[in-house]
């Protein structure tokens, strides 16, 4: 797995000064994260923490320089949702003799620009272990994996991928799939029944259905490339979800449509030979019966 590069989660001006304190899952663990960084990547979190804010794109309406999280500190008007460089708003505030108005909506907004102050929110529906991976990836760009965790199954990675669907961050989901590929390559390990079951035992919303199909297709392709017959011969084969077995069978037939093509003439010949053998056996049995009777 890629080396984990640790970065400070302290207040960094490029990500803004506003820190979100999030309680994830049912544990008491509290995560701290730059709110702008989180909300730019995840519409799910953005809808809770910055519901009025528009998507960060284009140029600052004041200086006409690009708006980009992680380069310059950004702020936004909580009334219209427009984004600006914090420095540009502060310069307007300092040099204006009149109360500050939003350059976009023109409403008075002296107290309506989000620059500082921490927020708190609980998300009991999410899993802390999944968010921990997400938190690390947002800051370091890597998925930290302890190889010993994956010796039995891939459930932690599958769970993290499902988390990416819930928080609406496709890029994180891609990073998770890439991490799986590295485990395949470096460790020779593949998803077992429990991981497959987790991917198939979930109900996805309409918006998440494409992402879920992506995961399942990924797992099916993995099995097409690496599966051995022994994987399905032990007593645990029934742990595979029926839907997975169906998808896998269909994929096998599509991949090798002519490998075991059913041939009428071949089967006719086979049955004729079997019929001849049966006739010979019947004749032999009859002769043996007659011999026994004569004796």
For 80-213, where are the E strands, in sequence order? 83-85, 119-123
Question: What span, in angstroms and rounded, lies between the C-alpha atoms of 217 and 173?
Answer: 14
User: For residue 145, how many other CB atoms are within 10 A of its CB?
Assistant: 20
Q: Give the pLDDT of residue 216.
A: 95
CB half-sphere exposure, 3, CA atoms < 13 A: 3
Mode of pairing for the β-strands spanning 83-85 and 74-76: antiparallel
pLDDT at 13: 45
Q: Which two tokens stand for residue 102?
A: 């939003």
d(CA 129, CA 146): 13
* Token pair recorded at residue 257: 């449509």
Q: HSE (CB half, 13 Å, CA atoms) of 215?
A: 31
For the chain, 295 residues long, give each residue's pLDDT as a single digit of tens.
443 333 333 444 467 678 899 999 998 889 999 988 999 899 999 999 988 888 888 999 989 999 887 778 888 888 888 888 888 888 888 887 777 888 888 887 665 565 556 788 999 999 999 999 999 999 999 887 665 555 556 899 999 999 999 999 999 999 999 999 888 888 778 888 889 999 999 887 777 889 999 999 999 998 888 877 777 777 767 788 999 999 998 988 887 766 556 667 777 787 888 887 776 665 555 555 455 555 5
Pairwise CA distance, residues 27 & 250, whole Å = 42
Around Cβ 124, how many Cβ atoms within 10 Å? 9
CATH of 13-121, one of 2.60.40.10, 3.30.40.10, 3.40.50.280, 3.30.160.100: 3.30.40.10
CA 133 to chain centre: 11
The pLDDT score that the predictor gives to residue 164 is 97
Contact 4, 140 (CB under 8 A): yes
User: Tokens 């988390």 identify what position?
Assistant: 163
> Could you state, in order of their start, the residue ranges of all structural domains in the chain?
13-121, 127-255
- The pLDDT value given to residue 259: 57
CB 76, CB 54: distance < 8 Å = yes
pLDDT at residue 114 in the model: 59
Burial (CB count <10 Å: 0-12, 13-18, 19+), residue 291: exposed
- Integer Cα distance of 211 and 97 in angstroms: 52
pLDDT (0 to 100) of residue 279: 64
Which DSSP helix (H) or strand (E) runs through 247?
Answer: helix 242-255
Handedness of CA 110, 115, 116, 122 (dihedral sign): positive
């Amino acid at each position: 797995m890629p080396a984990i590069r640790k970065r400070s989660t302290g207040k960094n001006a490029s990500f803004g000064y506003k820190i979100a304190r999030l309680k994830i899952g049912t544990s008491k663990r509290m995560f701290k994260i730059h709110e702008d960084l989180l909300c730019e990547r995840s519409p799910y979190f953005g809808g809770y923490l910055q519901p009025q804010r528009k998507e960060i794109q284009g140029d600052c309406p004041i200086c006409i320089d690009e708006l980009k999280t992680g380069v310059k500190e950004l702020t936004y008007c909580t009334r219209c949702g427009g984004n600006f460089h914090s420095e540009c708003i502060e310069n307007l505030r300092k040099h204006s003799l009149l109360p500050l108005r939003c350059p976009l909506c023109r409403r008075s907004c002296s107290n309506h620009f989000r620059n500082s102050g921490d927020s708190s929110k609980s998300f009991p529906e999410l899993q802390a272990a999944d968010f921990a991976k997400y938190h690390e990836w947002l800051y370091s760009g890597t998925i930290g994996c302890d190889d010993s965790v994956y010796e039995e199954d891939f459930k932690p990675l599958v769970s993290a991928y499902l988390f990416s669907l819930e928080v609406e961050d496709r890029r994180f989901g891609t990073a998770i799939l890439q991490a799986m590929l590295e485990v395949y390559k470096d460790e020779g390990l593949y998803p077992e029944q429990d991981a497959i079951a987790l991917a198939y035992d979930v109900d996805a919303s309409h918006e998440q259905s494409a992402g879920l199909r992506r995961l399942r297709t990924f797992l099916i392709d993995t099995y097409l490339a690496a599966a051995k017959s022994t994987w399905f011969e032990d007593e645990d084969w029934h742990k595979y979800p029926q839907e997975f077995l169906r998808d896998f069978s269909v994929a096998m037939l599509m991949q090798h449509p002519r490998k075991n093509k059913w041939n009428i003439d071949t089967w006719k010949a086979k049955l004729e030979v079997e019929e001849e053998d049966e006739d010979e056996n019947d004749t032999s049995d009859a002769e043996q019966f007659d011999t026994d009777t004569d004796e």
